[in-house]
Amino acid sequence: MLSLTLKKQYINDLVDWIEANLTDDLNIDLITLKSGYSKWHMQRMFKEMTGQTLAAYTRKRRLTLSAMALRLTRMPLIDIAVRFGFDNQQNFTRVFKNHFSVTPGAFRRIPDLPVKHFHGRIPVRSPIEQAELVMREDDLQLCGEVVEWECKFGDYIHDSEQRVAEQARHFVRFAGQYVERGWLGFQYSPGNSSAEQQHISLFQALESQHAEKLSSQVVNWTANRGLYAMIRWSGTPEQLTRFISDIYYLHLPALGVARRPGKDLLRLDLKASKPDWLIGVFAIPVTKD
């Protein structure tokens, strides 16, 4: 009989493999073959350790990623359907509507991003920090520099080119010389170079009174007052994009909110942060769903 530690490691390794193959022809028989156990034993262990069936987990993750593809790319519905394992667009629309209560086309057009039914990958352990809702009473005036680029949908989380990590590391080195607080603002939208590209905008900012510390290419921006989901975070620059995905797939759904337009802001404590270790608080603009 496997110990609890070995079961956790087994499930974590299996989930890693499932996550890496969500866009492939993934089915229970294939997962069973990968697991090394019988179909009955593998599914029983998965349900015991996670509280959900393997089929339900795989379906919810595929639907979640397909929903994000609808918002972050210009891919046609049929391409998204096929990419995430559906036989045809009609089947995809039926299953999607059953899960999100709207059709894929309607989901793509909603002004706010409804994340209540998003489903994240099973975490190795329960998150130490929990998000909370905070009402910001005042506007926050920021100025900074914007860096923009495009990447293939899904590549941003892995940050294989380490663009986010290197920008964050450079910003901490620079801003930490002058001020105690700095901001990284993240914004995402469909790309323009091809249908499956997503666009990333990274805002590296200080409070407006410190504009003279920046170059001549300064952009002014206001974080408006309103409701925000706030969560503390610390980690390496390389862990930043993975945590942002956890915000959308784990933390915001737990709050039962929708994300409203605006930037995801990471307020960095520059007195405590180092180029290789960031400490700060995320603020995500939300509205009660």
* CA–CA separation, 242 and 19 (whole Å): 13
Nearest by Cα to 107 from 243, 258, 249: 258
Domain limits, the chain? 4-110, 132-288
Q: What is the pLDDT of residues 75-131, one digit of tens each?
A: 999 999 999 989 899 999 999 999 999 999 999 999 999 999 999 988 656 566 889
Work out the mean pLDDT of the chain and round it to a whole number. 90
Which pLDDT value is given to residue 214? Answer: 81
Please state the rounded mean pLDDT for residues 225-252: 95
CB distance 142 to 210 below 8 Å: no
Which pLDDT value is given to residue 42? Answer: 76
Please state the rounded mean pLDDT for residues 182-199: 96
Percentage of residues of the chain with pLDDT beyond 70: 91
Q: Is 8 left (phi over 0), alpha (psi -120 to 50) or beta?
A: alpha
Which pLDDT value is given to residue 21? Answer: 79
HEC profile of the chain: CCCHHHHHHHHHHHHHHHHHCCCCCCCHHHHHHHHCCCHHHHHHHHHHHHCCCHHHHHHHHHHHHHHHHHHHCCCCHHHHHHHCCCCCHHHHHHHHHHHHCCCHHHHHHCCCEECCCCCCCCCCCCCCCCCEEEEECCCEEEEEEEEEEEEECCHHHHCCCCHHHHHHHHHHHHHCCCCCEEEEEEEEEECCCCCCEEEEEEEEEEEHHHHHHCCCCCEEEEECCEEEEEEEEEECHHHHHHHHHHHHHHHHHHHCEEECCCCEEEEEECCCCECCEEEEEEEEEEEEC
Tokens 């028989």 belong to: 29
As given in the structure block, the two tokens for residue 191 are 């790309």
Q: Give the global pTM.
A: 0.89
Percentage of residues of the chain with pLDDT beyond 90: 67
Q: Write the class of the CATH domain 132-288.
A: alpha beta
Nearest by Cα to 85 from 157, 31, 34, 155: 31
4-110 fold: Arc Repressor Mutant, subunit A (1.10.10)
pLDDT beyond 80 at 215: no
